[in-house]
Copies of this chain bind each other. A is one copy, B any other.
Amino acid sequence: MVFGETAKVFFLASGAAEGYSPLNAFDAALIQAGIGDFNLVKVSSIIPPGCKEVRPRSHPPGSVVPAAYAYIISDIPGEVVSAAVAAALPERETDAGLIMEYSARGHQQEAEEIVRNMAVEGMRIRGRGIKEIKSLAVEYKVQTIGAAVAAVVLWPYHEETDD
């Protein structure tokens, strides 16, 4: 997959963890999410037409992989932080879908509800029907330094879907 191309499959992932520093906490959360050995490139945030969900993939390590993600890092002991993503898939296969990301203090149930509403709203202003919304959220209660991350990975390899 090169610049100007579109991903054919995607997957959702989330994780949360403690860390030695803020960046280590983010890194550990990525590891928990199963995507800690990628070179993630942040994108704004479209599911290409026909792009299908697959089970999470993890290899090869170090590969450069586009992803839309939300994260939150906190160093306030006892604080609960959450990250969530939603992927709205279009009714019409020729339309693009949409990814929304959200992170905040508070619980994952609220974060997931908010990010799903964001995805609904993003499709509404595009005038596109929604076939289905895939979403994933995670929460974490900080001990010393903690992070939560949720991602939609646009898998850049040419491969079949799982089914």
Contacts and interface: CB of A to CB of B under 8 A. Distances in A.
Contacts of A21: 102, 114, 118, 121
A144 interface: no
Interface string A67-99: 010000000000000000000000000011010
A55 interface: no
Given A23-B102, A23-B118, A42-B41, A36 B126 contact: yes
A60 B6 contact: yes
Interface residues of A, number: 57
A102 to B, nearest CB: 7
Nearest to A6: B62
A6 to B, nearest CB: 4
A100 interface: yes
Interface string A18-62: 011101101110110000111111111111110100000000111
B43 A43 contact: no
A18 to B, nearest CB: 10
A44 B40 contact: yes
A5 interface: yes
A154 interface: yes
Contacts of A20: 117-118, 121
A46 to B, nearest CB: 4
A38 B46 contact: yes
